[in-house]
Structure 1
Amino acid sequence: MSLLHLDVAKCVHTSNKFAICDACVSSCPVDTIEINNSQLSFVPNDCVSCGACVGACPTAAYSVDGFNAIDYVFYLLENSISTISCKEGIPCVAALNSEELLALALLQKSNISIDLSGCESCDVAANNLKQIHALIEDTNFLLQAQERQFSVNVLEEYDAPKQTCSALSRRELLSKNVLQRAGTTIREFEQEVAARDEERIAHAVDKATIAQLKLKQIPKRRSLLMMALKRTTAPNTLHTLPAEEVSFISEKRIEKESCTSCQMCYRICPTGALSSDARNSVINFSATACVKCHSCHDVCEPNAITIKESFSLKQLYAPALENLVTFEIKRCDECGNLFPYHGGEQICSRCQTEEDEAKALWGIS
């Protein structure tokens, strides 16, 4: 059993109380992850360490001790291994995200095999298989759209190579490497004890979390995918795909007439896909930073921001910053601050609110 970790600062519920994302809850085969009032919790002892939540979370907020998806991908590449199996190196195939699997296939430039031979006897397969099949389908769809001649296929039978351990000599037992491994074993034991905790752990926000929220970072899996794409020849045709067929990235539009320029969408965006300038006169969008977490849509009260019906592969091979909306900036007649002007009286929303409250207090309509 490995200990499950949640990086609270990466979770969209931390920065947005209106967030509807429940990917981790839906993916958990033992139903130990819960969301109550934007606070996530789970019981460590209930977790089976399958890593399904790790693969499902759009912002990569979850991790499991002993497994790092990026390291695993590079291990497969360095050793020219084209078979992914829970029998060696990975707790469950569901711990991977389609970005990581797509990057692996592009860098490997060959077919990738997914071993599902152990799923029949696995207690969590009934839940995780749906996620695994969706992972394979998403990856194959994008490989086909990029005109690749390789794909991801399923193995119903697979015998993992057996590893042999040689006995250590006295000199080897006293070596620095062995002593370091002993220290690692102690840490692993401490982690195992923590994983046995039967109390539900609620993940609260502290000062350190608040400081991390200001750091707009894209998940490492996105960096891996973009690196793989740069090392790959672009397809002859950059196809336009149905948006619902692409699970981890999107293109967006903003209806200027509906947008109130409240700034919330780009302030709560966890990756910085949505951004503005020093005067807050624009809202720009970088598709390569979007993880399709839906947080910006959840926080937009007038529903001014929407996902485009299609996604162009041009966003992956020739990424560019797109301007979604531009505002006319004027200086408020009351406070003198700059603000996005939407017509009518030249007064900012803050001063307008104060004026409306004062009129209500005085009984003036």
Structure 2
Amino acid sequence: MRFSASSCRRCADICPHRAVSLDGILSINPNHCTGCLLCTAECPVGALEQSKDFSVCLAQVSRVPEPILGCIRSSDSSHATLACLGGLSEEHLVALCHSGSGKLTLNLTACSDCPNGTMIPQLQHRLDVLAEAGLSGGSGHVVVVESAEGLRFRDETVNRRSFFKSLRNSLFLSAAVVLSSTSESSERRTAYGGKRLPVRRELLSGARKSMSQEQAARVERRFDSCISFDENCTGCQGCVAICPTGALQTGLSDKAPTFDQTLCTGCRLCGDFCLDGALRISAGETRDGAD
């Protein structure tokens, strides 16, 4: 159920086909939706997400020195595929940048005659934003190829030993996916119900672990938000209840809630919900409040 006073319209605003409706509840018109997945890349709370497990895609990409990631229409010339690359959020792209040692190519050669080709400017914009923030380098870099002439695909054949090693890793990965789907870290039960991070934020958290201190600070400035409370806060804990990720947690009696910056996605539901206007939400700040 959608909070009626929420000011968030990211999914509806990004949809090029006007398939998303926010009239009371979130709904998608199947007659208009083409499956470009732009809405999933914009939703800050994970109400809309890709159906394919992205960790599998990351594993496939990491096994190839210079992998090519494409959509299901370009599977013959890609090492890994997603339904549509329009679903690659900034967080997904950062995770991809830190998944391997070589250049990653985004295969858009099938987009010219696809109704989802309208997502290309948005995808390029996300890459430009990350480049400006110094986050597109990582241990590899991402390039976009739209013409077949510019694509250098090589099918990566493996020997017997490599094949069984890859098979073993895939089995371990499948088991990890099953276990993670039921772990407490993926969904935290509270007095206000289940709280969980969107998948792409979990991917970003995983990527941070392999980053240098400088890179992690850049991620923090780009993706993290800070929440503070002024004297108007009555300690009603309403913001704790509305927070979908558990970033806000119950504090002491008659005191403001506690805040975990690592769990905040900047959705601003807490600010929309607070009747006293006691919350200050600041994007792009580090934990000590310095830009």
Question: 2:62 corresponds to which letter in structure 1?
Answer: L
Higher relative contact order (CA 8 A, sep 6+): 1
Q: CA deviation at 1:240?
A: 9.5
* Alignment match, 1:273: 247
Identity %, equivalent residues: 24
> Match for 2:145 among 142, 146, 155?
155
Q: CA deviation at 1:54?
A: 1.8
- Structure with greater Cα Rg: 1
* Alignment match, 1:129: 120
Whether 2:228 is the aligned partner of 1:253: answer yes
Identify the range of structure 1 (230-239 vs 264-273) with the bigger mean alpha-carbon deviation.
230-239
Post-superposition CA distance 1:181-240 (Å, at most 9, x none): xxxxxxxxxxxxxxxxxxxxxxxxxxxxxx997111112222222222112332289469
* Alignment match, 1:42: 28
* Alignment match, 2:184: none
* Alignment match, 1:23: 10
- The separation in 2 between residues aligned to 1:156 and 1:290, in whole angstroms, is 35
Post-superposition CA distance 1:67-110 (Å, at most 9, x none): 33332222212344533322231222211121121012123244
User: Per the alignment, do residues 109 and 141 of structure 1 end up closer, same or farther by CA in structure 2, a change over 3 Å counting?
Assistant: farther
Whether 2:279 is the aligned partner of 1:294: answer no
* Alignment match, 2:166: none
| 1:154-303 matched pairs, under 5 angstroms | 154-158=144-148, 159=151, 214-235=193-214, 238=217, 246=222, 248-255=223-230, 257-277=231-251, 279=253, 281-303=255-277
**Would you say the 8 A contact 1:70–1:220 is kept in 2?**
no
Q: How many residues align?
A: 246
**Paired residue secondary structure (1:307):** strand
Question: 1:58 corresponds to which letter in structure 2?
Answer: P
Whether 2:46 is the aligned partner of 1:60: answer yes
- The separation in 2 between residues aligned to 1:293 and 1:220, in whole angstroms, is 15
- The separation in 2 between residues aligned to 1:96 and 1:213, in whole angstroms, is 31
Identify the range of structure 1 (298-307 vs 94-103) with the bigger mean alpha-carbon deviation.
298-307
Question: Structure 1: any 5+ residue segments left out of the alignment?
Answer: 1-7, 164-210, 323-365
User: Per the alignment, do residues 236 and 273 of structure 1 end up closer, same or farther by CA in structure 2, a change over 3 Å counting?
Assistant: closer
- The separation in 1 between residues aligned to 2:216 and 2:89, in whole angstroms, is 25
TM-score by length of 1: 0.58
Question: 2:59 corresponds to which letter in structure 1?
Answer: F
* Alignment match, 1:75: 60
Q: CA deviation at 1:308?
A: 2.5
Question: Structure 2: any 5+ residue segments left out of the alignment?
Answer: 76-80, 156-189
Q: CA deviation at 1:268?
A: 0.5
Post-superposition CA distance 1:128-176 (Å, at most 9, x none): 223212321233234x16984743332233448598xxxxxxxxxxxxx
**Would you say the 8 A contact 1:146–1:238 is kept in 2?**
no
Question: 1:41 corresponds to which letter in structure 2?
Answer: S
- The separation in 1 between residues aligned to 2:254 and 2:260, in whole angstroms, is 17
**Paired residue secondary structure (2:128):** helix
**Paired residue secondary structure (1:113):** strand
**Would you say the 8 A contact 2:50–2:87 is kept in 1?**
no
Question: 1:129 corresponds to which letter in structure 2?
Answer: I
Q: CA deviation at 1:59?
A: 1.6
- The separation in 1 between residues aligned to 2:260 and 2:66, in whole angstroms, is 34
RMSD: 3.3
**Would you say the 8 A contact 2:235–2:253 is kept in 1?**
no
TM-score by length of 2: 0.71
Question: 1:228 corresponds to which letter in structure 2?
Answer: A
**Would you say the 8 A contact 2:208–2:216 is kept in 1?**
no
**Paired residue secondary structure (2:258):** strand
**Would you say the 8 A contact 1:54–1:95 is kept in 2?**
yes
**Paired residue secondary structure (1:36):** coil
**Would you say the 8 A contact 2:224–2:283 is kept in 1?**
no
